[in-house]
Amino acid sequence: MIEQVQQLAELIGPNAYLQALAIAVAFILFGKVADWILSRTIGNIAKRSKTTVDDRLVGLLHRPIFLSFVLLGLSLATQRLQMPDAPEFITLGVLKTIAVVVWYNMLRQLTDVLVQTARRNRNSKLVQTGMLTLIQNVFKVVLFALAIYFVFLAWDINVTAWVASAGIVGLALSFAAKDTLSNLFAGVSIIMDAPYKTGDFIILEAGERGVVTHIGLRSTRILTRDDVEITIPNGVIGNSKIINEAGGPSQKHRIRIAVGAAYGSDIDHVVATLEQVAADNPGICSDPAPRVRFRQFGDSSIDFELLCWIAKPVDRGRLRHELGCSVYKAFAANNIEIPFPQRDLHVRTMPDTA
């Protein structure tokens, strides 16, 4: 292409500066035509679609395409001038660096546009688990590394030595920051495997219970019912047993209220009373329906258990309190005795009073 452009430029005349100017002006005009085709033809097609992603993509390509033609024309014009090696090398290096920076900024902005579009879908697993943020950060790092690589190529810098040096430095850093890397890889595993997500209620192996407020690459944060934030390194939480109360097909959570009735009580009446207590509480779900189960013959009572579902695990403590109070009042109103442990002492002999 360079030879063809130079042959066409020779038709203007023997003056190299005039030929270089003609090459630069021609590529500027080519850039304007390409920009017009992109803005008018492809832009009008993009406007007919229902999404705005293609419109924003056309807007992002507007400047880089025009500048690419301009920089290409300036590069060919520089080569046509046949300057000494040092000025020509510096000029071409600067033009190539500008081209790398222009396209790097365009691709970085395109990544932000795609991430913003994906975040609109709240039900996406990438959004719920935080994996989208990780992918965005990885893309930014890769784009930056590629930009540095092409800048090195533009200035004819030997990349092999730099890669080898980076490998040695990376090996040293991996030994120095093994705990940080452990948390990092555990964070990636948690985000990909998604044993829990932001908003879930989890119980740690140590017994702490709270809602997940943030899942990062280094740590996970939960907020307890006492409004105390706990930060757990991902390396620790990744090797621990975690109970996710909001896991499963739905976020509903089942609570159990154990209660005993005195021997001699009408069992059917006890069951009906407990079911009515659950039905009267607006915080108890009707589907699945509350149920009462007989558990065992206790030492002093007949033991029952009221099983009912609530919408969110966060309401477990409050509803257990409400149901306990309601059960006590309902038993008192229906003359159902809640017994307490009793022992009968039989004295077989009395000591001699003398």
For residue 295, the domain's CATH number is 3.30.70.100
Give yes or no for residue 8 having a pLDDT over 70. Answer: no
Task: Considering only residues 124 and 219, tell me which one the structure prediction assigns the higher pLDDT.
Answer: 219
Residue whose C-alpha is closest to residue 196's, from 209, 183, 179: 209
346 found inside a domain: no
Last residue of a domain, one of 118, 136, 157: 157
Its pTM stands at: 0.59
Instruction: Among 120-134, 162-176, 288-302, 337-351, name the one with the lowest average pLDDT.
Output: 120-134
Residue 109: what pLDDT? 92
pLDDT averaged over every residue in the chain: 84
Total number of domains constituting the chain:
3
Task: Considering only residues 234 and 161, tell me which one the structure prediction assigns the higher pLDDT.
Answer: 234
**What is the rounded distance in angstroms from the CA atom of residue 313 to the CA atom of residue 305?**
19
- At 122-149, the pLDDT tens digits run 666 566 555 677 678 778 888 998 999 8
Instruction: Among 69-73, 108-112, 144-148, 159-163, name the one with the lowest average pLDDT.
Output: 159-163
Percentage of the residues of the chain whose pLDDT score is greater than 90? 35
Q: b/e string for 205-232 if b means 16 or more Cβ within 10 A?
A: eeeebbbbeebbbebbbbeeeeeeebeb
225 found inside a domain: yes
In angstroms, what CA-CA distances link 61 with 39, 40, 69, 241?
Answer: 9, 13, 13, 49
In this structure, the answer to whether residues 282 and 327 fall within a common structural domain is: yes
In this structure, the answer to whether residues 120 and 227 fall within a common structural domain is: no
In this structure, the answer to whether residues 127 and 167 fall within a common structural domain is: no
339 found inside a domain: no
Residue 44: what pLDDT? 74
The domain in which residue 321 lies consists of: 253-333
- Structure tokens that stand for 80 in this block: 């046509």
In this structure, the answer to whether residues 8 and 147 fall within a common structural domain is: yes
Give yes or no for residue 46 having a pLDDT over 90. Answer: no
344 found inside a domain: no
349 found inside a domain: no
In this structure, the answer to whether residues 136 and 43 fall within a common structural domain is: yes
Residue 176: what pLDDT? 63
184 found inside a domain: yes
Last residue of a domain, one of 108, 126, 157: 157
**What is the rounded distance in angstroms from the CA atom of residue 285 to the CA atom of residue 271?**
18
In this structure, the answer to whether residues 279 and 222 fall within a common structural domain is: no
**What is the rounded distance in angstroms from the CA atom of residue 73 to the CA atom of residue 79?**
10
In this structure, the answer to whether residues 80 and 187 fall within a common structural domain is: no
Return the CATH number at 203: 2.30.30.60
Percentage of the residues of the chain whose pLDDT score is greater than 70? 91
**What is the rounded distance in angstroms from the CA atom of residue 265 to the CA atom of residue 294?**
13
In this structure, the answer to whether residues 77 and 147 fall within a common structural domain is: yes
- Structure tokens that stand for 321 in this block: 């309190």
In this structure, the answer to whether residues 15 and 97 fall within a common structural domain is: yes
In this structure, the answer to whether residues 180 and 125 fall within a common structural domain is: no
Last residue of a domain, one of 136, 157, 178: 157
Max CA-CA distance within the chain?
146
Q: How many residues does the chain have?
A: 354
58 found inside a domain: yes
In this structure, the answer to whether residues 80 and 146 fall within a common structural domain is: yes
In this structure, the answer to whether residues 33 and 142 fall within a common structural domain is: yes
Give yes or no for residue 300 having a pLDDT over 90. Answer: no
353 found inside a domain: no
